[in-house]
């Protein structure tokens, strides 16, 4: 058969792109059409997303899709990060530039929230990990600082859903992204209106929740005109990028918890796939999160600070005139002394520091460890600490599910970091399967294929991923000094 083309819009915290997926009925071939930078914009002391520029870049990518593939384009789908949102007025005006999740306005909001609604009650109503970046606390901060905006809001849309509205006019929120808000009910799979009512937050602005793979309509005429595409279908894949990435895990054991995944990027999302939300006291104790998956599954996982630590170190090195690419930083880290200094990656000081190397050095100094000075030592400290955090989280996942994890799948851009992959396999004492790098966009595109009826199940999609993506097996090395490092790491940070 001739190739059918699907367009995937994939936005991350540092960059975005439009990718064409060329589907021949058995395999998906990827062609990156357009890549563009992303990042927070500082405005009057706040951090925002320049969503209008992102929308313009997406239209540029769609135009390239039309130019290269014309009438063979079947549909387009969007995935982005979670938790952040846009608000529309009754006349569909955008109510301000959306805040970026690292903005400082949510500092201290969680503690105030627990004074009104106990932590246990919020977890029962949402099943979500407690993080001050969650949408729930962002809305509470908005109510505190700009109540007039909430009073005016007629439609609440996650960033991916706002982009879908730009594409086709649909005002819905897709399930996998909705769960990241911390106000979607984990068993009813609809908005936790009772919780929002207790916190004095409006609910009239909340649109319907739709399942991943839903058809939302066709491109607006204006978008078709600007891009040159026809009135092609708009499909909501798993619009949360981690949800799409887990769809793209090349496992043959769909729906079973004896494998774990790490979606490795700016954030590390480590978890297991389960058939229903896990709401036990032990899950709350470990501060695990139940994010929505595909075909009724949930992603029982933990958000970990991830390669943000390395990215921000690189930014600081660049600013000092010490310019390295990521491969050079990995090489320098490999040459640095092993397991000398460790940090808790999820310490609050690492969320949005002015200078990441200084923040790492401060942690080491305060905890009585050798202070890493060189670029290689700083990056090695970050990577080894991440691997030890993965080990801790893996123990929690096994304890909560009662299942022993046999293998760890590492997907996403971070799966190219061979040093971190080796540290992860050794620290966790499990083989790691690294790849595909493009798990997120493959998940996005193959859910679009399924929406057209060409694939029937999550297992079908993953069989295509296995045939499409490159995977490298990494065996754990003898633990050696890692055993002692685990004990040191446990003393440095408690599970939160």
What does the alpha-carbon distance between residue 233 and residue 231 come to, in Å, rounded to a whole number? 7
CA distance linking residue 482 with residue 245, whole number of Å: 29
3-state secondary structure of 459: helix
The alpha carbon dihedral of 237, 238, 241, 245 has a sign of: negative
Residue with tokens 């050794």: 426
Q: Rounded CA gap, 486 and 488, in Å?
A: 5
Q: Which one is catalytic: 79, 161, 241, 346?
A: 241
Residue 70's CB: how many other CB atoms inside 10 A? 12
Q: Which of 393, 392, 434 is nearest to 415 (CA)?
A: 434
Overall size of the chain counted in residues: 496
Active-site residue flag, 346:
no
- In this structure, are residues 105 and 46 in contact, taking their beta carbons and an 8 Å threshold? yes
Helices (H) and strands (E) in the chain, counts: 19, 19
Token readout for 183 is 């106000």
Q: How far apart are CA 458 and CA 461, in angstroms?
A: 5
Relative orientation angle of helices 375-401 and 482-492, to the nearest 10 degrees: 80
| Residue 326, number of CB atoms within 10 A of its CB | 15
416: helix, coil or strand? helix
Under a CB-based contact definition with an 8 Å cutoff, are residues 496 and 285 in contact? no
Query: Catalytic residue numbers?
Result: 241
């Amino acid at each position: 058969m001739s190739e059918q083309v699907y367009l995937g819009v994939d936005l991350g915290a540092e960059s975005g792109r439009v990718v064409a997926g060329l589907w021949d009925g058995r395999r998906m071939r990827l062609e990156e059409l357009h890549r563009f930078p992303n990042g927070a914009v500082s405005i009057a002391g706040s951090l925002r997303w320049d969503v209008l520029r992102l929308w313009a870049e997406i239209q540029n990518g769609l135009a390239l899709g039309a130019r290269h593939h014309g009438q063979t384009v079947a549909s387009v789908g969007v995935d982005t990060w979670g938790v952040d949102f846009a608000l529309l007025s009754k006349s569909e005006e955008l109510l301000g530039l959306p805040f970026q999740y690292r903005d400082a306005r949510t500092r201290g909001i969680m503690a105030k929230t627990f004074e009104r609604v106990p932590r246990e009650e919020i977890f029962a109503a949402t099943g979500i990990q407690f993080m001050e970046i969650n949408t729930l606390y962002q809305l509470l901060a908005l109510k505190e600082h700009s109540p007039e905006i909430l009073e005016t809001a007629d439609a609440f849309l996650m960033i991916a859903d706002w982009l879908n509205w730009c594409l086709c006019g649909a005002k819905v929120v897709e399930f996998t992204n909705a769960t990241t808000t911390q106000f979607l009910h984990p068993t009813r799979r609809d908005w936790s209106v009772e919780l929002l009512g207790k916190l004095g937050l409006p609910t009239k602005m909340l649109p319907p929740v739709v399942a991943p793979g839903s058809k939302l309509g066709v491109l607006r005429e204006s978008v078709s005109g600007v891009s040159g595409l026809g009135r092609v279908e708009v499909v909501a894949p798993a619009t949360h990028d981690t949800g799409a990435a887990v769809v793209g895990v090349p496992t043959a054991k769909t729906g079973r918890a004896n494998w774990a995944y790490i979606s490795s990027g700016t954030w590390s999302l480590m978890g297991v796939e389960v058939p229903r939300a896990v709401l036990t006291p032990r899950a709350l104790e470990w501060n695990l999160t139940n994010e929505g998956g595909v075909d009724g599954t949930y992603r029982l996982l933990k958000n970990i600070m991830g390669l943000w630590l390395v990215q921000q170190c690189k930014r600081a090195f660049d600013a000092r005139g010490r310019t390295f690419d990521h491969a050079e930083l990995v090489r320098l880290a490999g040459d640095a002394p092993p397991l000398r200094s460790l940090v808790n990656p999820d310490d609050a000081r690492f969320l949005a520091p002015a200078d990441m190397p200084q923040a790492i050095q401060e942690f080491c100094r305060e905890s009585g460890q050798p202070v890493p000075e060189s670029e290689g030592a700083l990056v090695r400290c970050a990577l080894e600490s991440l691997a030890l955090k993965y080990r801790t989280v893996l123990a929690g996942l096994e304890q909560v599910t009662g299942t022993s994890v046999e293998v760890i799948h590492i997907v996403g851009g971070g799966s190219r970091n061979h040093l971190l992959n080796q540290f992860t396999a050794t620290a966790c004492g499990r083989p790691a399967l690294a790849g595909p790098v493009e798990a997120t966009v493959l998940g996005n595109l193959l859910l679009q294929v399924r929406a057209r009826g060409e694939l029937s199940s999550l297992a079908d999609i993953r069989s295509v991923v296995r045939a499409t993506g490159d995977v490298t097996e990494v065996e754990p090395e003898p633990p050696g000094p890692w055993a002692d490092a685990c004990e040191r790491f446990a003393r440095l940070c408690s599970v939160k």
